[in-house]
């Protein structure tokens, strides 16, 4: 239990239990007391209320001031709801002595630990009292210094920080205290800093010094110097780390700047092109950069250092003694030119600047300076001086002009000599020019700034060429091309002479001005031309007028520099090599077309057709080509539209002729089938076969109607319609047929203008276009159907050759399907043309649409590209008209008894129609043509109630026949029929005179109803 016995008191009501508790306490090494007032460490009682207070004497060695109170509770006794305020713990009583002793022992260990803690607390209180006084002094000191001070525990958690720690880092005390100090260390320095402190701590060091980047709350980094004192206890364990931190950011910045400066100096020293050196006054080389080493022909500095510049570094006659004298007296020399010897004995010329470095007493320590290799310049000056006389002699013999000027110290140029040829042409001598203020006296005044700039360049050591004008004594202005060269005098350190030669280019300038005027005239004429004008040489474009640039879309850069542009890139690839070969052939003088048409692609991707006319002419000694190209795109479009219309018209005529003959055959088939049906009665053996014949005939008739619609020969019944209403109704039916994955979007325009159309044909147009779009989108996609009002102007009609100015209602069907290429677009309206698989289309859908639209004086615009869907826009002209009457509903087949004169030039049709009418109860008079019909009518004595005739008869139309017969038989009614109306005037004439015309092939029901309506006066 410990070295000092615990003193215990027992206050249990049960003597037996009391005795057992005491025995257990004594067995556990406790001293049990019975006298009241004795100070005890622990009290064991069976009551939760406070037992009598027992205190130790304050002077007693025991540390416990209040006893630890333990409540004894029997095993089966419940825990009291409220323990006494003085009860610290509970021990359940057990009759098993050993078990009870173990339970009690656990509680006594708590008592012993508590006693030790109290003792430690008393010792700590005394120490803290002493520390507080010392800490106050330390705190005052810490807060008064500028460095940051903070303390961390052994685990690196911050337990104290001086006030300036928080102002310096930007954190509040609550954000740092009891948190790791690494929060204040930049992430890139944390790993090595922790490793350093762990190593120093493991070594047993008492101090650590380091520099690292501290991290402030705002994310900024500052360099700090940290000095740490490691505080340990008596066992050598770390208690805390005391840290003093100083901001060294400014010092670090200075160090970095110094380092960068040293690097720049070293880089400059090692890489500069001029030589740098340091020597002793007696000529020993102390330092030389690589440029000087290589300049003198050595490989390394060590080799150069073995040479003494005083003894073997300079050419004989070099005034080295004068150099030392001036350097030591004046302190420095600038721009001294001398001759140095290289390692191989060759001579180089050097421009040297140096200074003498002295100590405090004035004694020269060393020379340091620079050496620039000027060998090329000195050699050139010598060569120039040697050739000056030769130059003067040669200049005297040439036809143009040469001169030499002296340059005074103030920059004034005085004439030295001037060739006689100049005096002969300009009339001025060199003396006269000097009296007029020098050469400027002969300059043409507007060109004076140019000549001054020219002279300034030469005076500054730069040879220069310029062109300008001078004035002769007689006032004539002449052009000169002048080349002037400066002569530099090393001793004077400046240009002292200027020599030059001038070429008289007056005639050349006149030719150039005339050529420029001609070119300006050409450009003006070319830019005014309503065609593209191009000048080419090989593949290079030499010139393009404004029309050409605007046509193809030249960029601004290409407008300024046409020669960088390959014009053949604009030509359609299919024609490009052919045009290139023609151009080369023409330049070689070989046969090539002078005129041709070809397509180009402009910069914005548009295709334009141009009509080229090409001629060849010489340009700068080489053949060149000039091409004039007229834009014929609109003409081509019109021609293609006309050819397409003619093609469609021819196909339409063929389709109409085929449909006419086919209708006649169908009428025979259907008439005989109707007769069979009437004769068969209810016999199912015949009815099924007859219905099969009639069904096939009906489908064939529908195919014929489509051909007639394409050929625009189908009879129409136009009426005033609201296109939105008709299209909307058709789409409701079609929407159910498209499938769930094809979305049909209907966008009707508001206040749509009325149109006059055949109602059934509108449905046919919409159905064909929507079904065609459905096939294009496949299993999933979108179809948009919309209407719109559109007013077309004259300008609009230029782009739409089939259009006329006016108001139109536009029906548009758009899809996002597979689209079509240009080759397919050319053929989409041809009958029987289809891109669908075998058995999946008749090829008459779009042909029918085309025919219906043309029949209503409309036109179609189609836009499509592969992969980008298609858009069909149908333009119907807005026409005022009366609304057509509705047809009567279907009724049972009526019969009759009247006499009918039937006229038909096709025998099979005549026989079939006659049999059908007879079967319906009528008396039929048959005639194979107009003449026979007139004869029958003249010879028949009874009443002829109805003339039923074909419109197109040989020799006389059906309408004309009716006029003749009605004239002699006024009571006779007239009903005309046709497979199609071959000539529009015949049909119009028949409809105006006799009413609606029946369309072949006819069913028995249609024929019976039409005949009854005419006979009864309802038609």
Cα–Cα distance between 420 and 397 in angstroms, integer? 10
List the beta bridge partners of residue 873.
812, 861
167: which residues sit within 8 A by CB, 6+ positions away? Answer: none
Q: What local confidence, expressed as pLDDT, does residue 748 receive?
A: 92
Instruction: Tell me what the mean pLDDT of segment 956-961 comes to.
Output: 86
List the beta bridge partners of residue 901.
925, 947
For residues 717 and 834, state if they share a domain.
yes
Q: What angle do CA 913, 914, 917 make, to 5 degrees?
A: 85
SS (H, E, C) 530-576: CCEEEEEECCEEEEECHHHHHHHCCCHHHHHCHHHCCHHHHECHHHH
| Residue 798 domain-assigned (yes or no) | yes
List the beta bridge partners of residue 812.
786, 873
pLDDT (tens digit per residue) in 96-147: 767 777 777 777 777 777 677 667 667 766 766 666 656 665 565 555 556 8
For residues 312 and 237, state if they share a domain.
no
Sheet of 607-619, strands arranged across: 540-544, 532-537, 622-631, 607-619, 595-601
Q: What local confidence, expressed as pLDDT, does residue 192 receive?
A: 93
Cα–Cα distance between 110 and 295 in angstroms, integer? 94
Local confidence band at 389 (pLDDT 50, 70, 90 cut-offs): low
Instruction: Tell me what the mean pLDDT of segment 776-795 comes to.
Output: 89
Local confidence band at 45 (pLDDT 50, 70, 90 cut-offs): confident
With residue 440 as reference, give the H or E element that holds it: none
Q: What are phi and psi of 502, to 5 degrees?
A: -120, 140
Name which residue leads in pLDDT, 1008 or 734.
Answer: 1008
Q: What local confidence, expressed as pLDDT, does residue 852 receive?
A: 83
Last residue of a domain, one of 487, 505, 523: 505
List the beta bridge partners of residue 339.
349
Q: Which residue from 104, 92, 95, 19 is spatially nearest to 68, judged by alpha carbons?
A: 104
Last residue of a domain, one of 109, 139, 169: 139
Instruction: List the beta strands (DSSP E) in 793-912.
Output: 806-815, 859-864, 870-877, 899-903
Instruction: Tell me what the mean pLDDT of segment 776-797 comes to.
Output: 88
Measured between alpha carbons, how far apart are the two ends of the chain, in Å? 135
| Residue 612 domain-assigned (yes or no) | yes
Local confidence band at 419 (pLDDT 50, 70, 90 cut-offs): confident
Q: Which residue from 131, 127, 142, 110 is spatially nearest to 41, judged by alpha carbons?
A: 110
For residues 279 and 240, state if they share a domain.
no
Q: How far is CA 759 from CA 716, 720, 729, 764, 881, in A?
A: 9, 9, 11, 9, 14
For residues 727 and 867, state if they share a domain.
yes
Q: What local confidence, expressed as pLDDT, does residue 226 receive?
A: 93
Indicate if the pLDDT at residue 418 is higher than 90.
Answer: no
Of 480-484, 636-640, 700-704, the range with the highest mean pLDDT is 480-484
Question: What CATH number did the domain enclosing 292 receive?
Answer: 3.30.450.20
Q: What local confidence, expressed as pLDDT, does residue 63 receive?
A: 38
Give residue 993's domain range: 899-1016
Name which residue leads in pLDDT, 253 or 327.
Answer: 253
Indicate if the pLDDT at residue 188 is higher than 90.
Answer: yes
Indicate if the pLDDT at residue 888 is higher than 50.
Answer: no
Sign of CA dihedral 911, 916, 921, 927: negative
With residue 615 as reference, give the H or E element that holds it: strand 607-619
For residues 121 and 156, state if they share a domain.
no
Q: How many alpha carbons lie under 13 Å from residue 231 in its C-beta half-sphere?
A: 11
In this structure, the number of other CB atoms found within 10 A of the CB of residue 273 comes to 8
CB 487 within 8 A of CB 496: yes
Classify residue 209 by burial, with Cβ atoms within 10 Å: 0-12, 13-18, 19+: exposed
Instruction: Tell me what the mean pLDDT of segment 227-236 comes to.
Output: 91
Q: What local confidence, expressed as pLDDT, does residue 37 receive?
A: 67
| Residue 190 domain-assigned (yes or no) | yes
Q: How many domains does the chain fold into?
A: 7
| Residue 41 domain-assigned (yes or no) | no
The owner of tokens 């100096």 is 265
Instruction: Tell me what the mean pLDDT of segment 329-351 comes to.
Output: 83
Indicate if the pLDDT at residue 839 is higher than 70.
Answer: no
For residues 872 and 742, state if they share a domain.
yes
Cα–Cα distance between 456 and 462 in angstroms, integer? 9
Q: Which residue from 512, 433, 425 is spatially nearest to 467, judged by alpha carbons?
A: 512
Q: Which residue from 1017, 980, 984, 986 is spatially nearest to 999, judged by alpha carbons?
A: 980
Q: How many alpha carbons lie under 13 Å from residue 844 in its C-beta half-sphere?
A: 15
| Residue 317 domain-assigned (yes or no) | yes
For residues 373 and 448, state if they share a domain.
no
744: which residues sit within 8 A by CB, 6+ positions away? Answer: 731, 734, 735, 738, 770, 783, 785
Q: What local confidence, expressed as pLDDT, does residue 710 receive?
A: 47
List the beta bridge partners of residue 919.
none
pLDDT (tens digit per residue) in 797-809: 887 878 888 899 9
pTM above 0.85? no
Local confidence band at 778 (pLDDT 50, 70, 90 cut-offs): confident
Of 173-177, 589-593, 988-992, the range with the highest mean pLDDT is 173-177
Indicate if the pLDDT at residue 899 is higher than 70.
Answer: yes
For residues 202 and 309, state if they share a domain.
no
- Which tokens go with 330? 């004046």
Classify residue 671 by burial, with Cβ atoms within 10 Å: 0-12, 13-18, 19+: buried
170 conformational bin, left if phi > 0, alpha if psi -120 to 50, beta if neither: left
Q: How many alpha carbons lie under 13 Å from residue 761 in its C-beta half-sphere?
A: 28
Cα–Cα distance between 327 and 353 in angstroms, integer? 10
CB 537 within 8 A of CB 563: no
Torsion of CA 560, 565, 571, 572, to 10 degrees: -120
The owner of tokens 């099969």 is 692
- Which tokens go with 38? 């004795």
| Average pLDDT, rounded, for the chain | 78
For residues 135 and 169, state if they share a domain.
no
Instruction: Kindly report which listed range (385-394, 816-825, 855-864) carries the lowest average pLDDT score.
Output: 385-394
Name which residue leads in pLDDT, 88 or 971.
Answer: 971
Report the relative pairing of strands 870-877 and 899-903 from DSSP bridges. Answer: unpaired
pLDDT (tens digit per residue) in 984-1004: 455 556 666 677 777 777 677
Q: What local confidence, expressed as pLDDT, does residue 685 receive?
A: 63
Indicate if the pLDDT at residue 337 is higher than 60.
Answer: yes
CB 746 within 8 A of CB 728: yes
| Residue 888 domain-assigned (yes or no) | no
pLDDT (tens digit per residue) in 292-307: 888 888 888 888 888 7
Q: Which residue from 191, 251, 260, 244 is spatially nearest to 222, judged by alpha carbons?
A: 251
Instruction: Tell me what the mean pLDDT of segment 384-388 comes to.
Output: 65
For residues 327 and 372, state if they share a domain.
yes
Q: What local confidence, expressed as pLDDT, does residue 52 receive?
A: 45
Helical residues (DSSP H) of 681-819, grouped into ranges: 684-710, 723-735, 759-777, 794-799
Indicate if the pLDDT at residue 885 is higher than 60.
Answer: no
Question: What CATH number did the domain enclosing 816 receive?
Answer: 3.30.565.10
For residues 873 and 909, state if they share a domain.
no
Cα–Cα distance between 543 and 539 in angstroms, integer? 12
| Residue 677 domain-assigned (yes or no) | no
Q: What local confidence, expressed as pLDDT, does residue 1018 receive?
A: 67
Indicate if the pLDDT at residue 51 is higher than 50.
Answer: no
Q: What local confidence, expressed as pLDDT, does residue 288 receive?
A: 85
981: which residues sit within 8 A by CB, 6+ positions away? Answer: 713, 715, 951, 952, 987, 990, 997
Q: What local confidence, expressed as pLDDT, does residue 243 receive?
A: 92
List the beta bridge partners of residue 344.
none
CB 62 within 8 A of CB 39: yes
Instruction: Tell me what the mean pLDDT of segment 442-461 comes to.
Output: 90
With residue 102 as reference, give the H or E element that holds it: helix 97-144
Last residue of a domain, one of 452, 487, 505: 505
Instruction: Tell me what the mean pLDDT of segment 214-225 comes to.
Output: 92
Indicate if the pLDDT at residue 212 is higher than 90.
Answer: yes
For residues 963 and 941, state if they share a domain.
yes
Name which residue leads in pLDDT, 546 or 485.
Answer: 485
Question: What CATH number did the domain enclosing 983 receive?
Answer: 3.40.50.2300
| Residue 883 domain-assigned (yes or no) | no
Indicate if the pLDDT at residue 561 is higher than 60.
Answer: no
- Cis before 1001 (ω within 30): yes
Cα–Cα distance between 946 and 948 in angstroms, integer? 6
pLDDT (tens digit per residue) in 622-648: 888 888 888 887 777 777 766 766 666
């Amino acid at each position: 239990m410990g070295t000092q016995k615990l003193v215990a008191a027992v206050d249990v009501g049960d003597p037996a239990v009391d005795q057992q508790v005491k025995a257990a306490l004594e067995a556990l090494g406790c001293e049990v007391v019975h006298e009241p007032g004795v100070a005890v460490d622990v009290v064991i009682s069976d009551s939760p209320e406070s037992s009598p207070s027992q205190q130790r004497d304050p002077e007693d060695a025991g540390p416990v001031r209040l006893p630890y109170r333990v409540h004894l509770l029997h095993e089966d006794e419940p825990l009291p709801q409220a323990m006494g305020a003085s009860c610290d713990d509970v021990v359940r009583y057990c009759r098993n002595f050993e078990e009870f002793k173990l339970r009690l022992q656990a509680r006594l260990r708590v008592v012993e630990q508590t006693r030790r803690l109290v003792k430690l607390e008393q010792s700590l209180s005394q120490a803290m009292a002493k520390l507080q006084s010392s800490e106050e002094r330390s705190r005052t000191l810490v807060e008064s210094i500028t460095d940051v001070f903070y303390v961390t525990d052994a685990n690196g958690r911050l337990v104290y920080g001086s006030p300036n720690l928080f102002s310096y880092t930007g954190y509040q005390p609550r954000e740092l205290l009891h948190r790791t100090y690494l929060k204040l260390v930049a992430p890139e320095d944390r790993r090595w800093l922790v490793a350093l402190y762990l190593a120093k701590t493991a070594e047993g060091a008492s101090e650590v010094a380091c520099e690292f980047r501290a991290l402030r709350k705002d994310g900024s980094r500052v360099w700090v110097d940290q000095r740490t004192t490691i505080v340990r206890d008596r066992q050598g364990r770390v208690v805390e780390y005391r840290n003093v931190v100083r901001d060294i950011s400014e010092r670090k910045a200075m160090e970095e700047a110094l380092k960068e400066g040293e690097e720049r100096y070293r880089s400059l020293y090692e890489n500069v092109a001029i030589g740098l050196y340091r020597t002793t006054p007696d000529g020993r080389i102390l330092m030389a950069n690589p440029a000087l080493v290589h300049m003198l022909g050595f490989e390394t500095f060590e080799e150069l250092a073995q040479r003494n510049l005083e003894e073997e570094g300079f050419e004989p006659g070099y005034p080295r003694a004068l150099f030392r004298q001036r350097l030591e007296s004046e302190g420095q020399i600038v721009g001294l030119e001398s001759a140095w010897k290289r390692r191989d004995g060759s001579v180089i010329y050097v421009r040297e600047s140096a200074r003498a470095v002295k100590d405090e007493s004035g004694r020269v320590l060393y020379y340091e300076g620079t050496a620039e290799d000027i060998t090329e310049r000195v050699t050139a000056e010598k060569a120039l001086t040697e050739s000056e006389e030769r130059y003067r002699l040669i200049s005297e013999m040439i036809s143009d002009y040469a001169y030499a000027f002296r340059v005074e110290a103030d920059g004034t140029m005085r004439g030295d000599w001037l060739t006689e040829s100049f005096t002969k042409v300009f009339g001025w001598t060199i003396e006269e020019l000097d009296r007029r203020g020098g050469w400027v006296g002969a300059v043409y005044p507007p060109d004076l700034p140019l000549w001054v700039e020219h002279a300034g360049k030469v005076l500054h050591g730069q040879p220069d060429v310029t062109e300008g004008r001078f004035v002769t004594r007689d006032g004539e202005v002449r052009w000169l091309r002048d080349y002037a060269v400066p002569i530099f005098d090393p001793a004077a350190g400046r240009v002292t002479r200027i020599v030059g030669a001038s070429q008289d280019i007056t005639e050349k300038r006149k030719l150039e001005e005339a050529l420029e005027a001609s070119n300006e005239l050409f450009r003006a004429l070319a830019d005014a031309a309503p065609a593209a004008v191009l000048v080419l040489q090989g593949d290079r474009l030499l010139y393009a007028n404004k029309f050409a640039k605007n046509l193809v879309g030249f960029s601004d850069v290409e407008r300024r520099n046409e020669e960088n542009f390959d014009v053949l890139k604009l030509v359609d690839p299919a024609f490009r090599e052919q045009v290139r070969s023609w151009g080369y052939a023409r330049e070689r003088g070989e046969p090539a077309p002078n005129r041709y048409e070809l397509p180009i692609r402009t910069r914005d991707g548009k295709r334009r057709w141009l009509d080229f006319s090409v001629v060849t002419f010489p340009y700068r000694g080489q053949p060149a080509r000039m091409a004039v190209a007229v834009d014929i795109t609109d003409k081509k479009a019109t021609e293609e539209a006309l050819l397409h219309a003619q093609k469609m018209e021819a196909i339409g005529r063929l389709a109409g002729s085929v449909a006419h003959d086919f209708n006649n055959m169908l009428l025979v088939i259907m008439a005989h089938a109707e007769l069979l049906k009437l004769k068969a009665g209810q016999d199912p053996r015949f009815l099924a076969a007859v219905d099969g014949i009639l069904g096939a005939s009906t489908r064939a008739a529908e195919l014929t109607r489509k051909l007639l619609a394409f050929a625009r020969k189908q009879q129409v019944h136009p009426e005033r319609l609201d296109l939105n209403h008709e299209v909307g109704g058709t789409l409701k039916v079609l929407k159910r047929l498209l499938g769930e994955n094809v979305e049909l979007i209907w966008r009707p325009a508001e206040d749509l203008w009325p149109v006059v159309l055949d109602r059934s044909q509108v449905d046919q147009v919409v159905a064909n276009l929507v079904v065609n779009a459905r096939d294009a989108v496949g299993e999933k996609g979108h179809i948009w159907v919309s209407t719109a009002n559109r007013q077309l102007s004259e300008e609009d009609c230029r782009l739409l050759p089939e259009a006329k100015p006016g108001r139109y209602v536009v029906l548009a069907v758009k899809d996002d399907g597979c689209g079509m290429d240009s080759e397919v677009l050319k053929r989409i309206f041809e009958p029987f043309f289809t891109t669908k698989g075998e058995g999946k289309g008749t090829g008459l859908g779009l042909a029918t649409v085309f025919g219906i639209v043309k029949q209503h004086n409309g036109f179609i615009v189609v836009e499509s590209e592969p992969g980008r869907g298609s858009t069909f826009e149908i333009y119907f002209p807005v026409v005022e008209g009366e609304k057509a009457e509705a047809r009567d509903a279907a009724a049972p087949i009526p019969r009759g008894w009247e006499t009918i004169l039937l006229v038909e030039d096709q025998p099979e049709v005549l026989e079939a129609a006659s049999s059908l009418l007879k079967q319906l109860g009528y008396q039929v008079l048959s005639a194979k043509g107009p003449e026979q019909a007139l004869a029958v009518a003249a010879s028949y004595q009874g009443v002829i109630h109805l003339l039923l005739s074909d419109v197109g008869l040989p020799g006389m139309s059906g309408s004309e026949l009716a006029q003749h017969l009605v004239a002699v038989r006024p009571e006779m009614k007239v009903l005309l029929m046709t497979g199609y109306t071959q000539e529009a005037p015949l049909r119009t004439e028949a409809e105006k005179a006799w009413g609606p015309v029946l369309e072949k092939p006819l069913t028995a029901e249609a024929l019976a109803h039409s005949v009854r309506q005419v006979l009864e006066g309802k038609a």
